[in-house]
Structure 1
Amino acid sequence: MTQHSAIDPAVMQQRKAYYDKIGSRKLAPLWEVLHALVIPQPKSACQPALWRYDELRDDIMEAGRLITAKEAERRVLILENPGMPGQSRITTSLYAGLQLILPGEVAPAHRHTQSALRFIVEGNGAYTAVDGEKTIMREGDFVITPSWTWHDHGNDSDHPMVWMDGLDIPLVQALDCSFMERLPEDSQPLARPTGDALARYGAGLLPVDHEVRTPTSPVFNYPYSRTREALETMRRADEWDPCHGLKLQYVNPATGQSAMPTIGTYMQLLPKGFTGEAYRSSDATVFSVVEGKGHTMVGEGSTAERFDWGRRDTFVIPSWVPHRHHAPDGDAVLFSFSDRPVQKVLGLWRESRGNR
């Protein structure tokens, strides 16, 4: 807002009358709001937050006793950022929730313009079917549901399965591009054998006639066993980043770009005794703990918070908030996702290390 303290009261009255007049014509003066529109650095409603899985698990399982997967369509407990209650957001641009599928259940087939990831938190043996192919999911796997592809989930195992859903729902809402359809049947017809996509595209090879028709990776299940092996191979090279430890990005093998066009996904290894240097970036980031335990210092000075985390916990770091990861007692592995690909395409992404 413009500074009014030294302005003549008569002038102030004239301006108010002017603002009222142009307001009736659906106009507004930029100079009154410019300071809030163009700010020196990010100032987000998103707040740092931690969800401890052991404290949430009973609530997740209780949902399974209260409503079926078919009735709910997607039986999910939303991870609501405390700075944006009621908005179904974990960051300003991303949604996250924990989905439960009980033995014998099917979550019915539908498709939507929002892109989705599934990161498997608990259990082994449930499946998701995406665009005519089924994949079996195991803890630590990263699974993609591309925009506008049919998908359904089911559990043929004898134990509950829980995974984190991450979607670009707020981003798609902001663009007014939300569309959704349901299939008449609960499960879509399968057109390819299980494992076809990984065999066809996931070995550093592509079919000779492959054409890139979508920015989303043709591999839709990145098994944790392969990811973990890659981290161990890198460990032997001793190439530790002072902020991230060893951090890998999931990529589309056909383009070398992010596996998903709107959501960047990563896995990192923090070795025993790791004390990270301060890091901040413009992409608010959601972390899920795959292995080990440790803590993250969020913020700086007297307002800094300490998040003590362990296996299956989730925490979020807002945009441009400095943080430091620590794994004093043993190795830890963290999965994370953010809207970095969108920011990079638009030339907006920034990072800062240490005290810079």
Structure 2
Amino acid sequence: MNAPHPATLLRQQLYRDMAPHHLTPLWEVLHALVPPQPGTPCVPALWKYEDVRPFLMRAGEAITAEEAVRRVLILENPSLRGQSAVTQSLYAGLQLILPREVAPSHRHTQSALRFIVEGSGAYTAVDGERTTMRPGDFIITPSWTWHDHGSEADGPVVWLDGLDIPMVRFFDAGFAENGAARSQDVSRPEGTSLARYGHNMVPVRHEPPFGATSPIFSYPYDRSREALEQLERHAPVDAWDGVKLRYVNPLTGGWPMPTIATFMQRLPAGFHGKGFRQTDGAVYSVVEGEGEVAIEHGDNSYAFRFGPRDHFVIPSWHTARLTSARGCVLFSFSDRPVHQALGIHREERLS
């Protein structure tokens, strides 16, 4: 057996001697710290609603909304089990509320979105204003705003929760506070924020009520669907995205949330999309229709068939292709605003 090279012995002794001083050599890990391309541990995943829903209903029997504070089943990325994360920066979960229940008031620094999946007649309240939940509606809970949920519906209501929990955790910046009452006092009629900011007009003198977050906290699906239908009929269909729109903050034209981007898109019947990849990992909720997504990363490939109320995740820098024989509508969210703010966002649209 050949003796170790003297330089090897010298390095090994150096590592042992400096370890108690909490030092480590960069040259041993540089290739992993600065990789040639993103190497996320996340993997693509699909959650079929028909498989998930029975567990939600069982959760409704096992614990009340008030006991749970938020009765949610977390959509955990298979490679991040135990981390309450769907990607390394985003959280996703499905929340259930039953008739006459209240999910009590609280607030936190994490920003949250609600995308309604099943049922109508529940509500969410944000800083004194309620909005009724209907399937396909996109609702925002801005950072550090009091919010609670309740239901006056006849049946269960389910929505997708999307939050920047892992991102805030990375920055060690999370705070939370519980409200003194189960439900906050309603101080403004429903629709007030939409009337003030949702018609391409804003009050002459105003302060943004939620800082960098959109002053509209409820974006109704009927408006989004109408816009998609109009564009599908009268505008070119994008070869990668179909007809895709992004939600905006009407005060700035920018993203509705400082850490989370949200989108709605329509894949026309017979759509066969080209491949794309982007550094922002994205979570999708199928609003209506059916389709397929093919995802590739290195030597790994995935093919998911999706239908209404299903959810799937496309991780960072995974090549994806969307197709739909009969047409479908997809809602999605990602961490793109942070990528763009830091100047690190990259996207490739493959031919």
TM-score for the superposition, normalised by structure 2? 0.97
Give the partner amino acid of 2:40: S
For residues 178-257 of structure 1, what are the structure 2 equivalents within 5 Å? 178-212=174-208, 214-257=211-254
TM-superposed CA distance for 1:205, in Å, is 0.6
Match of 2:275 in 1: 278
For residues 49-128 of structure 1, what are the structure 2 equivalents within 5 Å? 49-128=45-124
TM-superposed CA distance for 1:25, in Å, is 1.1
Structure 1 counterpart SS, 2:80: coil
Matched, 1:340 2:336: yes
Give the partner amino acid of 1:333: V
Instruction: State how far apart, in whole Å, the 2-side matches of 1:236 and 1:309 are.
Output: 24
Give the partner amino acid of 1:285: A
Instruction: State how far apart, in whole Å, the 2-side matches of 1:200 and 1:47 are.
Output: 42
Matched, 1:314 2:320: no
TM-superposed CA distance for 1:285, in Å, is 0.5
Partners of 2:208 and 2:215 within 8 A in 1: no
Instruction: State how far apart, in whole Å, the 2-side matches of 1:230 and 1:16 are.
Output: 64
Match of 2:156 in 1: 160
Give the partner amino acid of 1:15: R
Matched, 1:176 2:172: yes
Quickly say closer, same or farther: Cα 1:327–1:175, change in 2 above 3 A: same
Instruction: Spell out, residue by residue over 1:121-154, the C-alpha distance to the aligned partner (whole angstroms, 9 max, x if none).
Output: 0001100000111000100000000000000000
Give the partner amino acid of 1:36: A
Instruction: State how far apart, in whole Å, the 1-side matches of 2:39 and 2:298 are.
Output: 18
Question: Structure 2: which 5+ runs fail to align?
Answer: none
Quickly say closer, same or farther: Cα 1:177–1:300, change in 2 above 3 A: closer
Give the partner amino acid of 2:13: A
Which of 252, 264, 267 in structure 1 is aligned with 2:264?
Answer: 267
Give the partner amino acid of 1:53: Y
TM-superposed CA distance for 1:275, in Å, is 0.3
Give the partner amino acid of 2:172: D
Partners of 2:284 and 2:312 within 8 A in 1: yes
Instruction: Spell out, residue by residue over 1:72-92, the C-alpha distance to the aligned partner (whole angstroms, 9 max, x if none).
Output: 000000001001111100011
Instruction: State how far apart, in whole Å, the 2-side matches of 1:337 and 1:136 are.
Output: 21
Structure 2 counterpart SS, 1:140: coil
Instruction: State how far apart, in whole Å, the 1-side matches of 2:207 and 2:273 are.
Output: 41
TM-superposed CA distance for 1:8, in Å, is 5.4
TM-superposed CA distance for 1:174, in Å, is 0.2
Partners of 2:136 and 2:287 within 8 A in 1: yes
Quickly say closer, same or farther: Cα 1:96–1:7, change in 2 above 3 A: farther
Which of 293, 310, 320 in structure 1 is aligned with 2:290?
Answer: 293
Partners of 2:42 and 2:88 within 8 A in 1: yes
Structure 1 counterpart SS, 2:131: strand
Out of 9-18 and 290-299, give the one that drifted further. 9-18
TM-superposed CA distance for 1:175, in Å, is 0.2
Out of 232-241 and 54-63, give the one that drifted further. 232-241
Instruction: State how far apart, in whole Å, the 1-side matches of 2:231 and 2:3 are.
Output: 64
Between Structure 1 and Structure 2, how many residues are aligned? 349
Instruction: Spell out, residue by residue over 1:262-301, the C-alpha distance to the aligned partner (whole angstroms, 9 max, x if none).
Output: 0000000000000000011000100000010010111168
Quickly say closer, same or farther: Cα 1:67–1:29, change in 2 above 3 A: same
Quickly say closer, same or farther: Cα 1:172–1:288, change in 2 above 3 A: same
Structure 2 counterpart SS, 1:349: coil
Quickly say closer, same or farther: Cα 1:302–1:172, change in 2 above 3 A: closer
Instruction: State how far apart, in whole Å, the 1-side matches of 2:45 and 2:248 are.
Output: 27
Quickly say closer, same or farther: Cα 1:114–1:302, change in 2 above 3 A: closer
Structure 1 counterpart SS, 2:229: helix
Structure 2 counterpart SS, 1:36: helix
Instruction: State how far apart, in whole Å, the 1-side matches of 2:297 and 2:204 are.
Output: 52
Out of 9-18 and 121-130, give the one that drifted further. 9-18
Instruction: State how far apart, in whole Å, the 1-side matches of 2:308 and 2:319 are.
Output: 23
Instruction: State how far apart, in whole Å, the 2-side matches of 1:204 and 1:233 are.
Output: 18
Question: Structure 1: which 5+ runs fail to align?
Answer: 1-5
CA RMSD of aligned residues (A): 1.4
Give the partner amino acid of 1:306: A
Instruction: State how far apart, in whole Å, the 1-side matches of 2:219 and 2:38 are.
Output: 33
TM-superposed CA distance for 1:235, in Å, is 1.5
Instruction: State how far apart, in whole Å, the 1-side matches of 2:3 and 2:134 are.
Output: 67
Instruction: State how far apart, in whole Å, the 2-side matches of 1:313 and 1:27 are.
Output: 47
Instruction: State how far apart, in whole Å, the 1-side matches of 2:114 and 2:55 are.
Output: 20
Instruction: Spell out, residue by residue over 1:9-35, the C-alpha distance to the aligned partner (whole angstroms, 9 max, x if none).
Output: 222122111112221111111111101
